[in-house]
Structure formats: structure tokens, C-alpha cells
Amino acid sequence: MGSVVFSIDAELGWGFHDYSNPPTDRIESARPGWKTLLEIFETYNVPATWAVVGHLLLEDCNGIHADHPAVDGWFARERGAWRDRRDLRFGPDLVEAIAEADAGHEIGCHSFSHVLFDDPRTTRDIARAELETAIEVARTFDIEYESFVFPRNAVGHRELLAETGFSCYRGAADPPESRLRRPLEKLLATIDPQRVELVEPTVDKHGLVDVPPSLFCFRFEGMPRAVVETLAEDPIVRQAKHAIDRASRTDGVFHAWLHPNNLQAERDARRMESIIAYAAEKQATSDLRIETMADVAERAQ
């Protein structure tokens, strides 16, 4: 019997603070999207792994972070352009809302300030500080992390995850259509319901469980989405339902992920509601399980 896992990269402004031109639409959708997503999970009593940027758990900061070995200028945006945007830098209220929800969510870690772990400038010291600072802040909320989601899925410094007590992470994405070269082939792949693969958790050389992703729920937007929206059903919903059906019949894991800031319009919330509702329905009528990343890690170890 297989399972479904939802993981969420929850970051408010931190997902984009290092961009020279942060995308306003994504950033302004982050808070309302967070609340909407939480409500949908609550409606269907479905748990997810919310990988939260550690800085969001702070009530306040000086914008300097003198103890953090980050590269020069790393915290410049929160000191400068976002000085008065506390709503993008802090979110203890939002994290508490996850912890208090009845669905039984897992709170995981998405680093402290969204440092990219595969960047050559990210030294061991920086990576360690990102993990240890996030862990320290989480303890004030009685949160003990099990799961880590790498910012922008950039895998690196895995040995430090093991050293600091994590048990699992979401591995690098390898969407099947990335192996295709021709644009038409790619477009067809995005709407082919069979194309989304179920995954298997594996234990890496550090003893950590890799829970790789199956589907990024907002992987094609803009023009391709406009084309496929002429179809009868949202193709991502169709693919997700197909994968959930397969997971209910086999031992594989369907691991879907997204950011709260992907919920920019009504249709985005509708997409997630359709997928989550379908998973809940299958769980009620078959042997399918809905698990957090930590649940998967526990049985894989």
C-alpha cells in the first residue's frame, strides 16, 4: 500500500530576498496563500510537511545577524527595502497556526534564511549556522525538526543535516520531462497523466532518508498553462489524481510540493483543493495512507 505526501516550502519574503528584482505577485501572495492552503488541509483533515524558513519564527531582529557567517550583504534587503515589511520577514503567527491545526501537520525546516546549499560560496560554517540557528529558534516553539527541504532544491552539506539531528530531506527534483528536448514533446509530457512518477524513499550514505519529489504542483505557468487550460480538466489535477490512484494500488509514494505563494488566484486554490480532496477520498476508500515526510522516514529507516 502506497502513500501520498504533501510538502510545502513556506518562506514569505525569504524565498526571494536575494533576487535583484523580487517578483511582487509571488511575494504578496505568500501570506494569503499560506492561510488558504492551511484552511484547505484543515477542511479535508489532511496533514502536510510545512518546511518553514527559520527566520520567520523570530518576533523581531536587528537586521544585522552579526553571529551569522553569511556572505556580505546577505541580509541587506531586510535592512533596506524591506525594513518596514515585517510581514515578509517574520511570521510566528503563521507558524503557530500550522502547529495548532487539527490536521496534525509536521513542521520541518527550510534553512534559516534561504541560503543555497549547493552554492560554492556557502561554506560549511554558513550551512552549519543556517541549520543550528533554525533549530535554536524552533526550540523556543517546542519544535524538534525531522525533515529538511533545501532552498530551491539545491542539495548540499548533507552530512551536516545528519550531524544536527535531521532524519530526512526532500531530494533533488528530476522531472521526467527535463529528459525531453523537443518543445512539443515537453508540452505533451506536461499533460500526460502517466508522466508523474511515484517515488521510493532511500537511505543515503549519511543515514538520512531521501524522500524525493514526484510533482511540483505549479511547474508550468504562463503560456503553457493558458494552452492547457482549454482542456476539460486542469492537467496537473489529472496527473495528481492518476498518481494518487497508482499510489493506492502499489507501494510507491506520490510526493507533491508547492509554495504558499503559488496560490495567486482562485484557480490555484481550486487546483490544490481538488488534489487534496481526492487524496482524502482515496484514503477513506482504499488502503492509501497520507503521510508526512517524517512518517515516511520513520518507516524507511
| Interface residues toward Zn ion, by CB under 5 A | 9, 11, 15, 61, 151
Nearer to Zn ion, 15 or 108 (CB): 15
Please state, in angstroms and rounded to a whole number, the distance separating the CA atoms of residues 5 and 290.
6
Minimum distance from CB of 38 to Zn ion (Å)? 18
Residue with smaller CB distance to Zn ion, 47 or 260: 260
Question: Closest separation between CB of residue 261 and Zn ion, Å?
Answer: 9
Residues 217 and 272: their CA atoms lie apart, in Å, by: 8
CB 31 within 8 A of CB 87: yes
Closest distance of CB 144 from Zn ion, Å = 21
Is the Cβ–Cβ distance between 31 and 275 less than 8 Å? no
Distance CA 260, CA 112 (A): 18
- Cβ–Cβ < 8 Å for 176, 195: yes
Output 61 or 191, the one with its CB closest to Zn ion. 61
Cβ proximity to Zn ion, 11 vs 130, nearer residue: 11
Name which of 78 and 197 has its Cβ closer to Zn ion. 78
What are the angstrom distances between the C-alpha of 145 and each of 25, 74, 131, 219? Answer: 30, 25, 10, 27
Residue 237 makes CB contacts below 8 A (sequence gap 6+) with: 271, 274, 275, 278
Residue whose C-beta lies closest to Zn ion: 61
282's CB contacts (< 8 A; 6+ apart) are: 4, 244, 245, 248, 288
Closer to Zn ion by CB, 137 or 196: give it: 137
Pick 9 or 197: Cβ nearer Zn ion: 9
Of 61, 22, 39, give the one whose Cα is nearest residue 260: 39
- Sign, CA dihedral 102-166-120-181, equals negative
